Amino acid sequence: MKIGQLAKVSGCSIQTIRYYEKEGLLNSPSRSEGNFRLYDEKALKELEFVKHCRSLDITLADIKILLDLKNKPEESCSSINGLIANQLDLVNQRIKELNVLKSELQIMKKACSTDDTVERCGIMRTLEV
């Protein structure tokens, strides 16, 4: 399949596919006589793996590590466990930050629940330093 078909099947943009290839996250595809990129089911599976990792907010650098380890099935998976534990720590930190943000926004919302003027708006007052 050509890159446009791969993009449609995978839900990734053509630019994203080319970027992943450039970054070494996808193997270079074969080429047609007309120099079009040609992808097979293996390429689709590689792209789906990268896309799933990105949906988990795993960095491109960490995806490269995972791909490298995927090609070494006899090695210990301890580094993968560490990578995912680190990712979980990052997610937990972000959740804490989002909860603080949520609390601040809830306080702001309570500061002005009427249709008043901007000058008398409680939300605007909470934003002043």
HSE-up (13 A, CA, CB side) for residue 116: 12
User: In this predicted structure, what is the pLDDT of residue 122?
Assistant: 86
Output b/e per residue, 77-103; b: 16+ Cβ within 10 A: eeeeeebeeebeeeeeeeeeeeeeeee
Digit-coded pLDDT (tens) for 47-75: 999 999 999 999 999 999 999 999 899 99
Set out the domains of the chain in order of their start, with CATH numbers: 3-127 (1.10.1660.10)
**Structure confidence by residue, pLDDT tens digits, 81-96:** 999 999 999 999 999 9
pLDDT at 4 over 90: yes
- DSSP H/E element including 20: helix 14-22
Q: Is the overall model pTM greater than 0.85, yes or no?
A: no
Residue 33 has pLDDT above 90, yes or no: no
User: In the 8-state DSSP scheme, what is residue 90?
Assistant: H
Q: What is the mean pLDDT of the chain?
A: 93
Q: Is the pLDDT of residue 100 over 80?
A: yes
In this predicted model, which residue has the larger pLDDT, 77 or 118?
77
- Helical pair 41-55 and 60-70, crossing angle rounded to 10 deg: 130
**Interatomic CA distance for residues 116 and 100, integer angstroms:** 27
